[in-house]
Structure 1
């Protein structure tokens, strides 16, 4: 993980240096903007690198959605022979260039980045020995500057659960830290929910019960878990998470317009979409169009009369 910590530090220090050239070391509104914007642009760097992967993820999801009828057919035909079922499914994925695991790749790549930033920010303590301050490519000056950096008066290295001793070492006011951290945690939970909801409503609720359960877990379980884990996240990490969510909302809006999900007008899909708050695709009307020519059966009946 030392390589990850070093890479995260390098990107963070690069952007901090870039913004410091513009703002210097001056703080405004109790905020060291060079460090806060350094975290924001760390997110933008990571998400920019992952953008082509995200596009491939969307294309793979569309391919998987289009293949669902054929997948169900294979599963039904070989429900008593799992080995043959798996072979045919793998062959189907290969020929149609669909990867069911592609949806997890962007998330898996971001986990080390998140853990790396969490470690680096937890490492920022004024009492840290000098030989520890220079780990991961930092200088002592950079370390001391980051350890005292604040957002609206709350140190970015502090968390909602920071004790009196830690707050004293950071030179922070406990009330200010709790207010800023609480507001950020609420924003983090809300944007996480909105990001998950946007994706589900645009791609559609799964008809398969296990997949639908996973979607519900994504929609409700992850935001709820952040209510607990957010208590120990440093403020800088919550800034990272909120920025990631806002980027995701904008990215999903653009990508899902460019690669719209396939629609389904079946009664089952329509009922499922209504039940879960989605927008069902318009079903094909069974009524004859105005001005349409009568069918052969109707013409025969008319002549009989």
Structure 2
């Protein structure tokens, strides 16, 4: 069976290293607002460490999204060409992506690569239970384990969760109401920032023409934030802090990249299509709203009544011999 211990050891090493650094600097342990800032900052800088490592992947994600965006006109042509033939359409689009070296799944790759980190932190923080004999796991010393298991944010332990049982709260020395309030607020922040990260990217790059891509965008925008409303109840508070911090980091990173490398303008998004010619101002012709006025009527000479000619086959009439008609008495 494949073991994930190497992930747990790696996450523990990063956490312990950052905690030792902040502890050496003299960051307050628990006097300020009931928070052990050394452990909170260790979780925050776990995010920073992971995001620095994954930055090249993030750049590839942006490039892939740009490539997918530039292919939208061709995708639309294929949709019109193979309308009603979904199987052929999928084959043609996959061939197009292969030819242009565009990967539709690259947009989700950074998130997928962070899943092991999330699961590793989730596993480690769940072990911060004084009743469990796990104090020597993953390179932790007894003092480090005890320090982390008692670490709090606004008096709520980072190992606690919204759905903690009364026994778990008692072992952590926590108040159930406080844990639920802090965890509930953090879950709402997690949902909101997850929605904003997807919305930020979609507003900058636009909705995809490809039905598969559009479905992924909708899933990222609405499905994942809504799922967190349920799954967030089982996440330790420390894991939620990691998720919110990661989302905030993503918002800032995306904003910086999109400002430095703005996406190319595309038809149907912001602005007029590139093929549309600029409208020239109408000449002033005296008409209403720039319309040409109707031309003035041209005076014509008085019409001369037409005289009917002789009928075909009739004898010509000499006007000199014909006198005026006699008036009837």
- Counterpart selection for 1:58 from 48, 57, 62: 62
Q: Distance in 1 between matches of 2:51 and 2:193?
A: 16
Q: What's the C-alpha RMSD, in Å, of the aligned pairs?
A: 2.5
- Counterpart selection for 1:281 from 237, 250, 271: 271
- Counterpart selection for 1:224 from 220, 223, 226: 226
Q: Distance in 1 between matches of 2:86 and 2:107?
A: 27
8 A Cα contact 2:14 2:46, kept in partner: yes
Answer with 256-265 or 192-201: which moved more: 256-265
- Which residue number in structure 2 is paired with residue 98 of structure 1? 102
- Which residue number in structure 2 is paired with residue 108 of structure 1? 112
Q: Distance in 1 between matches of 2:59 and 2:82?
A: 33
Query: Shift of the alpha carbon at 1:2?
Result: 0.6
8 A Cα contact 2:157 2:237, kept in partner: yes
- Please show how residues 161-200 of structure 1 align to structure 2 within 5 Å: 161-200=163-202
Q: Distance in 1 between matches of 2:54 and 2:7?
A: 16
Using structure 2 for the length normalisation, give the TM-score: 0.77
Unaligned runs of 5+ in 1: 271-279, 293-305
Query: Shift of the alpha carbon at 1:241?
Result: 0.5
Higher helix share: 1
- Please show how residues 204-219 of structure 1 align to structure 2 within 5 Å: 204-219=206-221
Q: Distance in 2 between matches of 1:101 and 1:46?
A: 21
Answer with 223-232 or 282-291: which moved more: 282-291
- Give 1 or 2 for the bigger CA radius of gyration: 2
8 A Cα contact 2:11 2:120, kept in partner: yes
Residue 71 of structure 2 aligns to a residue in which SS?
Answer: helix
- Counterpart selection for 1:18 from 21, 24, 28: 21
Q: CA offsets, 1:187-233, max 9 Å, x none?
A: 11111111111111111012334432322221111111111011111
Tell me the number of residue pairs that the alignment of Structure 1 and Structure 2 aligns: 277
8 A Cα contact 1:181 1:235, kept in partner: yes
Q: Distance in 2 between matches of 1:289 and 1:76?
A: 33
Query: Shift of the alpha carbon at 1:25?
Result: 6.3
8 A Cα contact 2:78 2:89, kept in partner: no
Unaligned runs of 5+ in 2: 284-329
